[in-house]
Amino acid sequence: MEMEKLIGEFINSLNRRPTTKDTYRKALMEFSKWVGNNSPYNLATSDIQRYKDYILSRNLSSTSMSAYLTAVRRFYDYLQSSGKVKINPAKNVRGGARPRKHLTKALSRKETVRLVDAVDSSSELGRRDKAILTLMARSGLSEIEIVRADVKDLKQRADKTILYVQGKNRDRKDEYVVLHEESIDALNEYMTMRGETGPDEPLLCGIGNRAINARITTRAIRSRISFYFEIAGIDRVGITPYSLRHTAAILAIEEGATPAQVKDMLRLKTLDSTLVYFEEAGRKNGD
C-alpha cells in the first residue's frame, strides 16, 4: 500500500498531460509488482539493474524498456527531491539502445508512384483517397493527424501551403506541416469536387450514406490504404499503412532534405531519431 501511495503522490506532482501521467502510472505499477513487499527506500543500483534484466526477459522492445526505466528514474528523482531517499538508485541504469532501423519499411519511389496511380480520380472517393495517400507519403502526416484536420487548419504562409496538425498525445494544434506539391494538388482536386465547405468541417470526410460529411476514422484510412496496396501489387514484409510516413522521410532525403527539414516534417523530438532515416536512406542507395 505504501508503494501505491508514493506512486500516487509522484503522479500528482507531475505537470504533464493526462496521457503522460497514465503512461508513468502503468509503468510504475509494474515496478511495484516487481518490488513486492520490499521497501522502495532500500533499493540499490544493483536492484534496479535486476529489474532491467527482468524487463529484458519479457522481450519488450527497446523503446518500451526505456519507457519503463525512465518512469522508475523519474520516480526516484521525486523521492530524492522530497527527502525520502538520499540517492537515486536508477540514475545510471539506462534503457536499451535506440534501434538503428525501423521494422516498418518504406516504399520505393516507383512503388509510391504505382500506389497513387492505382487510385481512380474520377470520383470524390478516389480524389479523397489520393489526398490521403499523398498527405502521408509526401508530406509525412500520420493517420490521426489526418483524422483531426479541419478545413480551417489549411492555411497559406507566404508562398507555402501549411496544415496545422494535432498528433497523438497532443491536446492542441500547435504544430504545422509544409505540404508537398503533390499533396496540395490532390487536396485541391478533392476540395473542388467536394464543393462548398465550412471552416469547422473535417478536411477529409467519410463518403457513403452513413459516413457522408462525417469525420473519417483511422480504421477507414488503414482499410483504404490496404485496399490500394492490393491493387498496386505491393506486398512485402514490413509494408503497412504506417509505411507511408516512413516513405515521406526517405523520399525527402533523396530529394536533398536536411536532417532539420526531415525532423520538422515528421515533428520528431530528437535529431537522433531523424538520423535513423538518413542511415536507412544510405543503405537503400548502397552508400
Q: What's the pLDDT tens digit per position in 11-45?
A: 999 887 787 888 889 999 999 999 888 889 989 99
Quickly tell me which residue has 520505393 as its cell: 108
Per-residue confidence (pLDDT) for residue 150, from 0 to 100? 96
With a pLDDT cut of 90, the percent of the chain lying above it is 61
Per-residue confidence (pLDDT) for residue 140, from 0 to 100? 96
**Looking at the predicted structure, is the pLDDT value of residue 77 above 90?**
yes
Q: Which three cell numbers stand for residue 93?
A: 541504469
Q: Closest Cα partner for 172 from 153, 157, 151?
A: 153
Q: Which three cell numbers stand for residue 122?
A: 474520377
pLDDT digits (tens, 9 = 90+) for 207-256: 765 656 789 999 999 999 999 999 999 998 889 999 999 999 999 999 99
Architecture of domain 109-141+180-284: Orthogonal Bundle (1.10)
DSSP 41-61: GG--HHHHHHHHHHHHHTT--
Vertex 12, ends 11 and 15: CA angle to 5°?
90
Q: Between these two residues, 267 and 59, which has the higher pLDDT value?
A: 267
Ramachandran bin of 175, using left for φ above 0, alpha for ψ from -120 to 50, beta for the remaining angles: beta
| pTM, rounded to two decimals | 0.67
Per-residue confidence (pLDDT) for residue 55, from 0 to 100? 82
Ramachandran bin of 198, using left for φ above 0, alpha for ψ from -120 to 50, beta for the remaining angles: beta
Per-residue confidence (pLDDT) for residue 287, from 0 to 100? 44
pLDDT digits (tens, 9 = 90+) for 94-142: 765 555 677 789 999 999 999 999 999 999 999 999 999 999 999 999 9
2-81 and 109-141+180-284 share one CATH topology?
A: no
CATH class as words, domain 2-81: mainly alpha
Per-residue confidence (pLDDT) for residue 145, from 0 to 100? 96
**Looking at the predicted structure, is the pLDDT value of residue 80 above 80?**
yes
Question: What mean pLDDT, rounded, does the chain reach?
Answer: 89
**What residue spans define the domains of the chain?**
2-81, 109-141+180-284
Q: Closest Cα partner for 242 from 145, 125, 121?
A: 145
Per-residue confidence (pLDDT) for residue 62, from 0 to 100? 67
pLDDT digits (tens, 9 = 90+) for 139-164: 999 999 999 999 999 999 989 999 99
